[in-house]
């Protein structure tokens, strides 16, 4: 999917992990490099901070 969309379409990815933790979370260094190179090339990373809305509602 990423290869098909790379530099042609917008892709939104959300995660609870910060981007600098993704290599460790994905495990395989070669796979991690390939995925992150595609995702982060020309990316706009938006980091949101604050308390969880789920916490507020429970």
Domain annotation covers residue 34: yes
Q: Please say whether the beta carbons of 21 and 27 come within 8 A.
A: no
Look at residue 20 and tell me if it is in a domain: yes
Tens-place pLDDT, residues 33-51: 888 888 888 888 888 888 8
Q: Find the domain containing 29 and state its range.
A: 2-48
Task: Count up the domains in the chain and report the number.
Answer: 1
pLDDT digits 0-9 by tens, 7-43: 777 888 888 888 888 889 988 889 888 888 888 888 8
Sequence-ordered list of residues with C-beta below 8 angstroms from that of 36, at least 6 positions apart, any chain = 19, 22, 23, 26
- pTM value? 0.58
């Amino acid at each position: 999917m990423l290869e098909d969309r790379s530099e042609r379409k917008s892709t939104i990815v959300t995660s609870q992990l910060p981007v600098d933790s993704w290599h460790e979370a994905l495990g395989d260094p070669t796979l991690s490099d390939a995925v992150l190179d595609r995702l982060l090339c020309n990316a706009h990373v938006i980091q949101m901070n604050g308390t969880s809305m789920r916490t507020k509602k429970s």
